[in-house]
Amino acid sequence: MSQIEIIEHLLELVAGIGVYLIAFKMISGNLEAVSSEKLKQTFAKISDNKIIGLFIGIVATVLIQSSSAVTVMTIGFVNAGILSLTQAATIVFGGEIGTTVSGQIVALGLFSSDSVNLNILFSSFAGLGVILSSVAKKDNLKKTGEIISGFGILFIGLGLMSSSMRSFAELDSLKMFLSSLNSVVLLMVAGAIITAIIHSSAAMTSIAITMVSAGLISLEQGIYITLGANVGTCFTGMMAAMSSSTNSKRTAVIQLIFNTGGALLILVIDTLIKLVSTGSIGMTFENLFPGSPHFQLAMFHTIFNIASVLIALPFTGLFVSLSKKIVPGSDVDEESERFYYVDENMLKTPVIAVSQVKKEIMNMADIAIRNFNTSIDAFVDMSTDKKEVFANNEKELNFLNKNLVEFIVKLTGSSNISKKDYLYLSSTYKAIADIERIGDYSENIMEYADILRTFDEKLSEDAKQEIREMTDLIDHLYDLTMDAYENGNRESFKESMKVEDQIDDLTQKMADNHIMRLNRKQCSAEVGAQFVKLASDVERIGDHLINLIDKNYEVSH
């Protein structure tokens, strides 16, 4: 083989790897968008049950074809305080099983006989997917076409890699060099480093399967490169957890302990087999699946990952305890100004991030309505007991108002957002502004209370009763709007409009009664002024609650 031919085949290999990785991202991104509802339903099942956590990890990884993405998403949930370490560990375990699917698909695509070449068959999907994507009118059908097209492009890349590797396999000098690389540590390190660079253990495993199939490396070498890839995939999780909470770092450590421990266990077992016999792990799989090197490595990857999870699952608590010793510190994030449901790491899985944004907005609304009730108590009872609580809540509202908008801007820029989710996110800016205004009006009410305390003024019992009646209506309206906002409850939507009318009527009644009390000298002019301003502000709070669903209802549901 001439130098020109070697360069051509090298470029063919680089092209194949590039095409494969692009196709992998194309499939992953579109799968995530198409399976958005399934992903949301899957994560809604989160509980302390280890089997459910395992199931969630498997399904999520299969749906988005990336255990690294699932790990980063899990770290985000832990950082937001939604997942416990035990739940996170089982999801990470499940991700290790889910990631084996891609290896099996690649092995199947490398199968060929005199009558059929599956790689060519699968490659044709690239054209079929483009046709479907071009003629489809629905967004999901277009993305399905892109998935099919990506699937075909993946096998085009696989074909390029396989072709170049078969050519390199004819170079005796290269084969001798590669066969001399018998250091299992070196092979594992190489697999880990390359995986850390490309951020995909599935892609690294697929490349190793292709190399084994072409005869460029032995099955034994492929096994240790694959084990290294399992360790290398932890790099993504470690990087995601670096700037996150203590428990997020522990989640990344659990994955590292699990994957590194599994690799070391195989190394020990393989060493013992070689000491007591002439066999090895590689020879065992050669005997189990004769004549198919690609299936031998794919099956090792699958069986090893499943067996590792089955062994580790009963000892989840031990993994959690060990992670706490390695990463000491408090389990609870004491910072008051923070997100409760979203996390920057969730941006890697926009589908889940969108559903978490809705929860964060509802959490913001809850803080605002609590502050409203606190301000009403301060005004009616002339109390300063909860002034510090009110101030802390207001700081949280200001934090969420600024940072949640920034998070949504980043999320909206994702290429994997469905049209429905994009429309919803577009409506959230107004919703956040409405909630922030509720907080502002509550601040006003606290100021009115301070003014009355300064003048040592008190409300009449009738005025207190009217304020309490208005507060009950606002609280009822809040419950209805949140039900409509979260669940799309049509009846709550209709009922909220009726309650809003009642609030308007009561506001007018309060103004009329105030004039009557002034004429009877039952209250002072100063009390009356603050009372009227309070009634007006509360009425506006009702308007902002209605705005949450009046303009966003159809978009959200």
CATH code of residue 500: 1.20.58.220
Question: Does any domain span residue 89?
Answer: yes
**350 and 244 in a common domain:** no
Q: Is residue 331 part of a domain?
A: no
Domain range for 244? 3-326
Q: Do 20 and 165 belong together in one domain?
A: yes
State the pLDDT at residue 555.
Answer: 47
- Contact predicate 527/452, CB 8 Å: yes
112 φ, ψ (degrees, to nearest 5) = -150, 155
Asked if residue 281 and residue 132 are part of one domain, the reply reads yes
Q: Are residues 198 and 90 in the same domain?
A: yes
Residue 516's pLDDT is what? 84
The one-character DSSP state at 142 is H
Mean pLDDT per segment of 10 residues, for the chain of length 557 residues? Answer: 81 87 80 72 74 88 79 82 86 91 84 67 89 86 88 86 81 72 87 86 87 87 92 87 83 93 92 86 90 90 94 93 89 64 82 87 94 92 85 92 93 80 90 94 92 80 90 95 89 92 91 82 78 91 89 50
Task: Give yes or no for a contact between 172 and 254, defined as CB atoms under 8 angstroms apart.
Answer: no
Report the C-alpha gap between 517 and 327 in whole angstroms. 65
Among residues 278, 297, 326, the one where a domain terminates is 326
23 belongs to a structural domain: yes
SS3 66: coil
pLDDT computed for residue 39 by the predictor = 72
Split into its structural domains, the chain has a count of: 2
> In this structure, are 261 and 383 located in the same domain?
no
3-state secondary structure of 112: strand
In a domain, 472, yes or no: yes
Look at residues 326, 355, 372 and tell me which one is the last residue of a structural domain.
326
Residue 262 lies in a domain: yes
Shared domain for 350 and 322, answered yes or no, is no
Decide which of 298, 326, 354 is a domain's last residue: 326
Other CB atoms within 10 A of residue 87 CB: 23
What is the rounded distance in angstroms from the CA atom of residue 71 to the CA atom of residue 252?
8
Residue 383: strand, helix, or coil: coil
- CA distances, 271 to each of 10, 274, 280 (Å): 35, 5, 8
CA 168 to chain centre: 41
DSSP one-letter code for 83: S
Do 376 and 258 reside in the same domain of the chain? no
**Per the structure block, which two tokens stand in for 296?**
């031998």
Q: Is residue 393 part of a domain?
A: yes
- Look at residue 336 and tell me if it is in a domain: no
**What is the residue type of 400?**
L
Backbone dihedral angles phi then psi of residue 292, each to the nearest 5 degrees: -135, 80
Read off the pLDDT of residues 320-370 as tens digits, 9 standing for 90 and up.
Answer: 999 999 998 776 555 556 788 888 888 877 888 888 899 899 999 999 999
Question: Does residue 318 share a domain with residue 454?
Answer: no
> What is the predicted pLDDT for the residue at 550?
67
236/370 same-domain check: no
Same domain, yes or no: 165 and 203: yes
Within a domain: residue 333?
no
> Are residues 372 and 479 located together in one domain of the fold?
yes
Q: Are 376 and 441 in contact (CB under 8 A)?
A: no
